[in-house]
């Protein structure tokens, strides 16, 4: 949560600190300096990435992420950015500082990256109620609100619940991540027959999205695709 003082500063000096590099001056009204704006544009996902999961693929090789079951239960992936540098900073500000300008920037880019809009609803990945109580908001729901405004696809927060409190995926080793979120989600039978666009802030290992997709499909979802603000593009298991 932001202190009252820093909120007041934001109101008085809306064009202050850059969200990308933390430089105290030089940011425009959206909260970015020109250097970071250019850097973020350079972090868009290259056009020759895997057309299903958007990961980096070596020329004439199959996609390692798809071949390894990374997209199990997920039809297609949409995302504007690689999870690095300034994009990572924006996501951290969104997640831990409730920075609404970051939600606006990332959400707009996500809407633009959504080349197919044939979905019945957007389902943000839910937080457990205890985590929601501590943080005060769900960053994925904030992004979903922006994407919905731009695309007209309604948000449904009632279709998926996190029934188990889990540790932050980022705090775990790759091999611990799947077990951490397995069976952590429960879908509502209202999702039967719906084409669902699951929305999360970041895809790293993909375990969270696969666990959500499995829960939704168990209750009869007709299709599940995934939209995130960023993803680990060069998939060696770790963040690149």
List residues binding Zn ion (CB under 5 A). 18, 20-21, 33, 36, 50, 52-53, 55, 63, 65-66
Nearest distance from residue 4's CB to Zn ion, in Å? 25
Residue closer to Zn ion (CB basis): 93 or 187: 93
Nearest distance from residue 131's CB to Zn ion, in Å? 30
Nearest distance from residue 237's CB to Zn ion, in Å? 15
Residue closer to Zn ion (CB basis): 26 or 145: 26
Q: Using CA atoms, how far apart are residues 96 and 103, in angstroms rounded to an integer? A: 12
Nearest distance from residue 118's CB to Zn ion, in Å? 21
Phi, then psi, of 46 in degrees rounded to 5: -60, 145
Residue closer to Zn ion (CB basis): 103 or 159: 103
Residue closer to Zn ion (CB basis): 65 or 119: 65
Token pair for residue 153? 């696809």
Nearest distance from residue 49's CB to Zn ion, in Å? 8
Q: Which residue, among 96, 152, 94, has the nearest Cα to 122 in the 3D structure?
A: 152
Nearest distance from residue 24's CB to Zn ion, in Å? 10
Residue closer to Zn ion (CB basis): 63 or 160: 63
Residue closer to Zn ion (CB basis): 20 or 107: 20
Q: Using CA atoms, how far apart are residues 212 and 69, in angstroms rounded to an integer? A: 15
């Amino acid at each position: 949560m932001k202190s009252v003082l820093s909120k007041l500063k934001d109101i008085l000096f809306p064009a202050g600190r850059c969200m990308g590099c933390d430089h105290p001056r030089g940011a425009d009204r959206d909260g970015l300096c020109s250097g970071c704006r250019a850097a973020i544009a350079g972090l868009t996902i290259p056009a020759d990435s895997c057309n299903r999961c958007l990961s980096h693929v070596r020329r004439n090789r199959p996609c390692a992420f798809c071949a390894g079951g990374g997209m199990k239960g997920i039809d297609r992936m949409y995302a504007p950015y690689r999870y690095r540098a300034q994009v990572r900073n924006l996501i951290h500000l969104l997640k831990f500082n409730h920075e609404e300008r970051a939600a606006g920037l990332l959400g707009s880019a996500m809407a633009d990256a959504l080349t197919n809009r044939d979905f019945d609803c957007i389902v943000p990945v839910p937080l457990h109620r205890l985590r929601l109580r501590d943080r005060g908001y769900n960053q994925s729901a904030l992004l979903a609100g922006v994407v919905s405004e731009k695309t007209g696809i309604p948000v449904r927060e009632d279709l998926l619940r996190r029934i188990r409190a889990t540790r932050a995926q980022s705090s775990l080793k790759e091999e611990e991540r799947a077990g951490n979120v397995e069976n952590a989600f429960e879908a509502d039978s209202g999702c039967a027959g719906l084409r669902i666009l699951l929305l999360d802030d970041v895809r790293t290992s993909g375990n969270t999205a696969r666990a959500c997709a499995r829960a939704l499909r168990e209750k009869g979802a007709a299709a599940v695709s995934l939209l995130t603000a960023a993803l680990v593009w060069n998939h060696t298991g770790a963040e690149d």
